Structure 1
Amino acid sequence: MPIHKPLAVALAASLVLALASPDADAQRKRRSSKPAAPAITACSDFYGFVNKDWLTANTIVSGSGSVSALGHMQQRALLQQRALLDDAVLNPQNDVQKLLGDFWVSGIDEAALERDGAQPIATLLSRINAIKRSKDIAPSIAALHQVGIPVVFNFTADLDLADLDRHVGYFSQGGLALPDPAYYTREDADTRALLGRYTEYVEKILALTGTPQEQLKTEMAQVIDLETRIARASRPITALRDPRENYALVPTEGLAKQFRNLQLGNYLQSQGVSDDSVSMAHADYFTQVDTLVRTLKPAQWKAYLRYQIGNAMAPYLAKDFRDAHFSFHGRVLRGQTAPPLRDVQVLDAINRAAGPMLAREYVARYLPGTTRSRAGTIAADVRAALARAVDRNSWMSDAARAEARAKLEKLTIEIGAPERDIDYTVQPMGRSSFGSNMLIASTWHRREEMRRIGIGNAQRRWDVLPQQPALAYDLAHNRLIVSAAALQAPVLDMEQETAAQYGSFGALVGHELSRAIDSRGQLVDAAGNVRSWWTPADEAAFGARTNQLAAQYSTYDYPATNALKVDGNLTRDENAADLAAVELALDALANAQPELDDEGRESFFRSWAALWREQLSPETAAQAVATRAQAPGRWRANGPLVNLPAFAETFKCKAGNAMLRKPEEQVSIWR
Structure 2
Amino acid sequence: MTPRWTPTRTAIVLAFAGAALGASGFASAQASGATAAPAAGKSAGKGADKPAGMTVLPGDDFFAYANGDWLAKTEIPADRGSWSAMGALAEDTNARIAKMIEELGAARGTSGEARKVADFYAAYMDDAAIEKRGLAPVKPMLADIAAIKDKAALVRALGASVRADVDPLNSTDFFTENLFGVWVAQGLADSARNLPYLLQGGLGMPDRAYYLENNTRMAELRTKYQQHIAAMLKLAGYDKSDERAARVFELELALAQTHASREESSDIQKSNHVWTLKDFAARAPGIDWNAFFKAARLSGQERFQVYHPGAVSGAARLLAKPDLAVWRDYLAFHKLNQYASLLPKAVADQRFEFNGKALTGTPQQSVRWKRALAATNEAMDEAVGKIYVGRYFPAADKARVQKMVANIIEAFSARIDKLDWMAPATRAQAQAKVTSLYVGVGYPDAWKSYDGLVVKRDDAFGNAVRAEQFHYEQELAKLGKKPQRTDWAMPPQLVNAVNLPLQNALNFPAAILQPPFFDPKASDAVNYGAIGAIIGHEISHSFDDQGAQFDAQGRLRDWWTTEDLAHFKAASAKLVAQYNTYQPFPDLAVNGQLTLSENQADLAGLQAAFDAYKASPAGKAAGADGERQFFTGFAQGWRTKMREASLRRAVLTDGHAPAQYRTYIVRNLDGWYKAFDVKPGQSLYLAPQDRVRIW
Which of residues 73, 79, 84 in structure 1 aligns to 2:100? Answer: 84
Which of 383, 389, 412 is the aligned partner of 1:363?
A: 389
Give the corresponding residue for 1:392.
Answer: 418
CA distance in 1, matches of 2:251, 2:82: 42
Task: Judge conservation of contact 1:468–1:483 (CA < 8 Å) in 2.
Answer: yes
Q: Is the 8 A contact 1:185 1:232 kept in 2?
A: no
Tell me by how many angstroms 1:472 deviates.
3.2
Partner of residue 609 from structure 2, selected from 585, 607, 610: 585
| Structure 1 position 375, deviation (Å) | 1.2
Whether 1:430 aligns to 2:456 is: yes
SS in 1 for 2:508: strand
Structure 1 residue matching 2:29: 3-state secondary structure: helix
**1:344 pairs with one of 344, 349, 370:** 370
Q: Give the corresponding residue for 2:21.
A: 6
Partner of 1:102: 119
- Offset of residue 469 of structure 1: 1.8
Distance in 2 (alpha carbons) for counterparts of 1:174 and 1:45: 40
Displacement of 1:516 in angstroms is 2.8
Aligned to 1:528: 554
Question: C-alpha separation between the residues in 2 aligned to 1:549 and 1:360?
Answer: 40
User: Which residue of the partner structure matches residue 634 of structure 2?
Assistant: 611
1:263-274 alignment to 2 at 5 Å? 264-265=290-291, 267-268=293-294, 271=297, 274=300
Match of 1:492 in 2: 518
After TM superposition, give the deviation of residue 370 of structure 1 in Å: 1.8
Structure 1 residue 193, shift from structure 2 partner: 7.3
Give runs of aligned pairs for residues 384-423 of structure 1, distance below 5 A.
384-420=410-446, 422-423=448-449
Distance in 2, Cα, partners of 1:443 & 1:310: 17
The aligned counterpart of 1:32 is: none
Change (3 A) 1:196 1:511: closer
- 2:197 matched to 1:170? yes
Moved more, 475-484 or 156-165: 156-165
Q: Kindly tell me: are residues 50 and 325 of structure 1, through their superposed partners in 2, closer, same or farther at Cα, counting changes over 3 Å?
A: closer
Deviations 1:410-434 (A, max 9, x none): 2221212344573312443233332
**C-alpha displacement at 1:114, in angstroms?**
0.9
In structure 2, how many angstroms separate the alpha carbons of the residues matched to 1:341 and 1:359? 22
What aligned pairs does 1:473-512 form with structure 2 within 5 A after superposition?
Answer: 473-512=499-538
How many angstroms does 1:256 deviate by?
9.5
Distance 2:543 2:533 in 1: 16
1:318 deviates by: 0.5
How far the C-alpha of 1:130 sits from its partner, in A, is 4.9
Counterpart AA for 2:188: L
Amino acid aligned to 1:409: T
Deviations 1:193-230 (A, max 9, x none): 7666555544443344354xxxx12x875675477457
Paired residue for 1:59? 74
Partner of 1:440: 466
Q: Quick one: which amino acid aligns to residue 101 of structure 2?
A: L
Relative to the length of structure 1, the TM-score reads 0.77
Counterpart CA distance in 2 for 1:622 and 1:117 is 36
**What 5-or-longer segments of structure 2 have no aligned partner?**
6-19, 41-51, 166-175
In the TM superposition, what is the alpha-carbon distance from 1:491 to its structure 2 partner? 1.6
Distance 1:457 1:421, change over 3 A: farther
Instruction: Choose the corresponding residue for 1:249, options 267, 274, 292.
Output: 274
Structure 1 partner of 2:12: none
Q: Which amino acid aligns with 2:335?
A: I
Q: Partner letter of residue 107 of structure 1?
A: Y
One-letter identity of the residue aligned with 2:612: A
Counterpart residue number, 1:28: none
Q: Give the partner amino acid of 2:522.
A: Q
Q: What CA distance in whole angstroms lies between the structure 2 residues aligned with 1:334 and 1:504? A: 28
Per the TM alignment, residue 126 of structure 1 is displaced from its structure 2 partner at its CA by 4.0
What is residue 487 of structure 2 aligned with on the other side? 461
Secondary structure in structure 2 of the residue aligned to 1:107: helix
Aligned counterparts of 2:58 and 2:213: Cα–Cα separation in 1: 56
The alignment partner of 1:457 has SS state of coil
In 2 relative to 1, CA 250–369 (structure 1 residues): closer, same or farther, beyond 3 Å?
A: same
The verdict on how the C-alpha distance between 1:87 and 1:15 changes in structure 2, with shifts beyond 3 A counting, is: farther
1:459 aligns to what SS in structure 2? coil
Residue 288 of structure 1 pairs with residue 317 of structure 2: yes
Q: Please give the TM-score of this superposition, normalised by the length of structure 2.
A: 0.75
CA distance in 2, matches of 1:660, 1:260: 55
Q: CA deviation at 1:314?
A: 1.9
Of 622, 625, 631, which residue of structure 2 is paired with 1:599?
A: 622
Residue 167 (structure 1) shift: 3.4
Q: Confirm or deny: 8 A CA contact 1:104 1:346 kept in the other structure.
A: yes
Q: Judging changes above 3 Å, is the alpha-carbon distance between structure 1 residues 276 and 669 closer, same or farther for their aligned structure 2 residues?
A: same
Residue type at the aligned position of 2:233: L
| 1:516 has 2:516 as partner | no
Cα distance change of structure 1 residues 99 and 408 upon mapping to structure 2, 3 Å threshold: same
Shift of 1:142: 4.4
Once residues 503 and 539 of structure 1 are traced to their aligned partners in structure 2, the CA distance between those partners, rounded to angstroms, is: 30
Displacement, 1:317?
Answer: 0.6
Where does the alignment leave 5 or more consecutive residues of structure 1 unmatched? 25-35
Post-superposition offset of 1:445: 1.7
Q: Which moved more, 1:599-608 or 1:358-367?
A: 599-608
Of the three residues 112, 118, 130, the one matched with 1:113 is 130
Partner AA of 2:609 in structure 1? A
CA-CA distance at 1:379 after TM superposition: 0.4
Pair member with larger Rg = 1
Deviation at 1:163, TM superposition (A): 1.9
Count of aligned residue pairs for this structure pair: 643
Q: In 2, are the aligned partners of 1:250 and 1:279 still within 8 Å (CA)?
A: yes
Shifted more, 86-95 versus 222-231: the winner is 222-231
Residues 662 and 185 (structure 1), Cα distance of their counterparts in 2 relative to 1, 3 Å cut: closer
Aligned residue in 2 for 1:157: 184
Q: What SS does the corresponding residue of 2:138 show, helix, strand or coil?
A: helix
* Secondary structure of residue in 1 paired with 2:137: helix
Aligned: 1:326 with 2:352: yes
Q: Distance in 1 between matches of 2:360 and 2:411?
A: 44
Q: 1:634 to 1:609 in 2, by over 3 A?
A: farther
Q: Write out per-residue CA displacement over residues 509-548 of structure 1, whole angstroms, 9 at most, x where no aligned residue.
A: 2233234335554322334343444445435655787788
Relative to structure 1, the CA distance from residue 341 to residue 20 in structure 2 (aligned partners, 3 Å threshold; closer, same or farther) is: farther
Q: What is the CA-CA distance between 1:384 and the residue it aligns to?
A: 1.4
CA distance in 2, matches of 1:498, 1:554: 34
Shift of 1:111: 1.5
Measured against aligned partners, the alpha-carbon deviations of 1:351-370 in whole angstroms (never above 9, x if no partner) come to 33443433333333332222
SS of the residue corresponding to residue 13 of structure 1 reads coil
Q: Distance in 2 between matches of 1:446 and 1:6?
A: 19
Q: Which 10-residue stretch deviates more, 606-615 or 624-633?
A: 624-633
Q: Is the 8 A contact 1:419 1:460 kept in 2?
A: yes
Tell me if structure 1 keeps the 8 A contact 2:526–2:633. Answer: no
Identity of aligned residues (%): 25
Q: What amino acid does structure 2 have at the position aligned with 1:167?
A: N
Among residues 650, 653, 657, which one is paired with 1:629 in the alignment?
657
Is this contact kept in 1: 2:393–2:442, CA < 8 A?
yes
Q: CA deviation at 1:382?
A: 1.2
Cα displacement string for residues 468-508 of structure 1 (whole angstroms, at most 9, x for unaligned residues): 22233333332222122211112211223445433432333
Report if aligned partners of 1:251, 1:277 keep a CA contact under 8 Å in 2: yes
Q: Aligned partners of 1:384 and 1:608: how far apart in 2?
A: 20
Q: CA RMSD in A?
A: 5.1
Letter in 1 for 2:129: A
Letter in 1 for 2:124: G
Q: Mean alpha-carbon deviation: is it higher for 311-320 or for 501-510?
A: 501-510
Q: Secondary structure at the match of 1:643?
A: helix
Task: Name the structure with the higher helix share.
Answer: 1
